[in-house]
Chains A and B, each alone.
Chain A
Amino acid sequence: MNFDDTPQEAAFRSQARAWIAANAPKEYEDELRATSLGRVGLKNADILEVAKAWQKKKADAGWACLHWPKEYGGRGASPIERVIWQQEEGPFGKLSGLFIIGHGMCGPTVMAYASEEHKRQYLPPLASGEKVWCQLFSEPAGGSDVAGLRTRAEKRGDAWVINGQKIWTSGAHYSDYGILLTRTDPTVPKHKGLTMFFLDMKSKGVEVRPIKQASGHSDFNEVYFTDVVIPDSQRLGAVNDGWNVALTTLMNERMSIGAGVATGFPELFAFCSNLMLDDRPAIEDRNVRSKLASWAVKASGLKYTSMRAISALSKGERPGPENSIGKLVAGPMIQDVAAYALDLQGAAGVLSGSEAELAGKFQAMLLRAPGTRVEGGTDEIMRNIIAERVLGLPGDIRVDKDVPFNQVPTKGRA
């Protein structure tokens, strides 16, 4: 049992470290290090521009999308090399957040289902950050139950005409392309009438409207489709086989979001070390220590769970199911951590602007946290996944499973 690199891993690490030291945008390092949930951005620069520049620089030197094949803009690296890169990239990796959907979900789906010509055309600029992609799955009527979506695609000659509405689309407002899950046959059960496409977000009839979130920010959008035309050549997978295509994407989503997810613990520990309560650091208070200790072992438990997964990769094995706990542990935890940091501030915890403790860092975290428990699979969906796929418990009873989609009841008319 050890944490040591193999000689090959060590060589790769030193190569990556040297390149990052020579090329990373160090002027933003401190600021990036200080970002936390709900508080991502740069004071004197547009983070999108900085992120794109860093991504392009990486791509030109062969450090973008490491695990993708070279011909599609990657490096053909092994899974463990990808992990080593992420470790070495450190705070600069936070700049990749803007590409996470494109690289983590859209790219793998395009790679699995697009034509060779399209892969060579679309994947390299996606890898290099020159083109940003988004994922158009969720709808007002299909969140956790994504297969309940209603956006229609109807065949007209060699093309498809799209009408409907998507919601919770991250980054649609700055995306160039998107992958789109639609309903092509409403007369069959819901999973059997879906088809996947990719499209140019500048297509006629696409309208992006930002959602004002509960946090007051706008990271997500509603996207409306009115008679949008998509050529059949941009279909991903067979007609009515979109559910299987979407599963590829969603498995990748849970993998990429689950990796190294934030818990808020380092921030809280530092805060409690510095905050004075009754003339002594808060961390000397009995109750504070007890709370901190419980969260400390969750944070370390997640850290060493991912070390176990990385060890499996290092040995060329598939990581076990234990990695599926990351999001379920970290989501509720960061929400509780933020609430506790406010509790320690007493009445002043209500302030959230520049006058607040740490300029409102924990307040921003508190307001953003509910989203982390919903996006990419709610806590409840994650528990179902663990119960069914890891523990082997029966699936939920699905009353709409064998019913033609257009006969499934909606809106409490059951």
Chain B
Amino acid sequence: MNFDFSDDQKQLRDQARKFLAEKCPPKAVRVVLDGQAPYDRALWKGFAEMGFLGVAIPEEYGGAGAGHLELCVIAEEVGRALAPVPFSSTVYLAAEVLMLAGSDAQKQAWLPKIASGEAIGTFALFEGTGNPSPKAIRLDAANGVLNGVKTPVADGAIADLIIVAARTASTGRDSDISLFLVDAKAGGVDAKALTNLDPTRGQAELTFKTCKAEPLGAPGEGWSIITQVLDRAAVLTAFEQVGGSDRALEMGRDYALDRIAFGRPIGSFQAVKHMLADMYVSATLARSNAYYGAWALSTNAPELPEAAASSRISATQAYQHCAKNNIQVHGGMGFTWEFDCHMYYRRANALALGLGSLSYWEDQLIDRMRKRNAA
């Protein structure tokens, strides 16, 4: 049994960690946090040069053709460093949709641009309050023309390529939904940046007005593709969350060793030790579940839907737990803008929602477990 990353993959993780430690210190994240730039352009360019953007994209489309395990280890480091770049929307969502359902021409047109950092992608799924569901998709598509509003769309204001989930029929079935590809520069779509919990990753409202779009995947297959893509993105996002959890735990641990109160390091008080031990437990459970997700994703196993939901729930719980208790360990200083704790707290809570909230994934997990038990 070898339920672990290979030495090469671990080396890639170390390389990514080193790169991000140098190019993406908290100071760089704060430039985006403070609204001085929509994302870190130099870092994005560096991601392309390091081959991070195309690591899972096949070589024939300009990628490295390595695989999803390699992408997982990079995602972990992206999460740990809070990298303020549109990595998840471009790589876990747009590129994954293209690889799953795009025509050869669409892949040729966009995947090399994604791998080279030329194109930022996103996936416009949500239309206001609520979790993913075919019913919630009302944006109208008729004869390849889109009309409607998507919100929130991660990195929507900076995207070049927009994958849009749209309604092509109204029978009440999943087959009412189809996917479309929109070139943001071709016109017909207006973006409005929205204030959000985690300014280091933008959110936008996209308004489509007689916007020309190409069908992506077979008509009526949209919902099926969406569920597959959400599963894949759930595993990859889980690695970001695991990276963030570990970092929040380390920050809390380091502060507990450094901070003296009542004449001793606060990390010598059981109340603090036990809080940190519980954070370690959450982070460890999340990592192990995420590894299972990575295995299922990389082998395209039939267990992927269940493994993805487990990864998602466990990682969401762990990151929220570690991020909030990291602030608690820091006490008053943890609640200042100056300390970095809130950046992890913001990211943890934003990631918890982006692909559908915890309650949505809990529901999915139980459905999928029942299906397996019935089989």
Inter-chain CA distance A311–B276, complex, in Å, is 27
Residue A380 at the B interface, CB < 8 A? yes
Q: A1-B291, A297-B285 are in contact. Are A383 and B3 (CB under 8 A)?
A: no
Residue A305 at the B interface, CB < 8 A? yes
Q: Chain A contacts of B313 at CB under 8 A? A: 293-294, 296-297
Are B288 and A396 touching (Cβ within 8 A)? no
Residue B207 at the A interface, CB < 8 A? no
Residue A390 at the B interface, CB < 8 A? yes
Cβ 8 A contact of B4, one of A308, A380, A388:
A308
Q: A289-B366, A301-B285 are in contact. Are A393 and B253 (CB under 8 A)?
A: yes
Are A383 and B295 touching (Cβ within 8 A)? no
Q: Chain B contacts of A387 at CB under 8 A? A: 267, 273-274, 276-277
Within A266-315, the residues touching B (CB, 8 Å) are 269, 273, 283, 286, 289-290, 292-294, 296-298, 300-305, 307-308, 310-312, 314-315
Residue A347 at the B interface, CB < 8 A? no
- Distance in angstroms from B144 CB to nearest chain A CB is 39
Inter-chain CA distance A302–B273, complex, in Å, is 22
Q: A1-B69, A307-B1 are in contact. Are A391 and B280 (CB under 8 A)?
A: yes
Residue B19 at the A interface, CB < 8 A? no
Are A311 and B270 touching (Cβ within 8 A)? no
Within A370-405, the residues touching B (CB, 8 Å) are 380, 382-384, 386-388, 390-397
Residue B108 at the A interface, CB < 8 A? no
Interface centre among A289, A297, A380 (most CB of B within 10 A): A297
Interface centre among A9, A292, A296, A382 (most CB of B within 10 A): A296
Q: Chain A contacts of B278 at CB under 8 A? A: 383
**Contact indicator per residue, chain B 160-195, by CB within 8 Å of chain A (1) or not (0):** 000000000000000000000000000000000000
Are A393 and B5 touching (Cβ within 8 A)? no
Binds A, one of B40-48, B90-98, B222-230, B357-365: B357-365
Are B284 and A383 touching (Cβ within 8 A)? no
Inter-chain CA distance A380–B298, complex, in Å, is 39
How many pairs, one residue from A and one from B, have CB atoms within 8 Å of each other in the complex? 163
Are A393 and B4 touching (Cβ within 8 A)? no
Are A325 and B281 touching (Cβ within 8 A)? yes
Cβ 8 A contact of B253, one of A4, A328, A392:
A392
For A, the interface residue count at a CB cutoff of 8 angstroms equals 51
Are B289 and A301 touching (Cβ within 8 A)? yes
**Contact indicator per residue, chain B 225-267, by CB within 8 Å of chain A (1) or not (0):** 0000000000000000000000001000100110000001101
Are B1 and A2 touching (Cβ within 8 A)? yes
Residue B292 at the A interface, CB < 8 A? yes
Are A394 and B268 touching (Cβ within 8 A)? yes
Q: Chain B contacts of A301 at CB under 8 A? A: 284-286, 288-289, 310, 314
Can you name the residue of chain A whose Cβ is closest to the Cβ of B298? A1
- Distance in angstroms from B289 CB to nearest chain A CB is 5
Are A322 and B265 touching (Cβ within 8 A)? no
- Distance in angstroms from A86 CB to nearest chain B CB is 13
Residue B325 at the A interface, CB < 8 A? no
Can you name the residue of chain B whose Cβ is closest to the Cβ of A1? B295
By Cβ-Cβ distance, the 3 closest A-B pairs, closest first, are: A301-B285, A293-B362, A387-B273
A-B contact pairs, 12 of them (CB 8 A): A1-B2, A2-B1, A290-B362, A294-B362, A297-B285, A300-B289, A301-B285, A304-B292, A307-B292, A311-B3, A315-B2, A325-B281
Given contacts A273-B373, A296-B366, A303-B288, 10 further A-B contacts (CB under 8 A): A80-B1, A300-B314, A301-B284, A301-B285, A301-B286, A301-B289, A304-B288, A307-B288, A325-B285, A383-B273
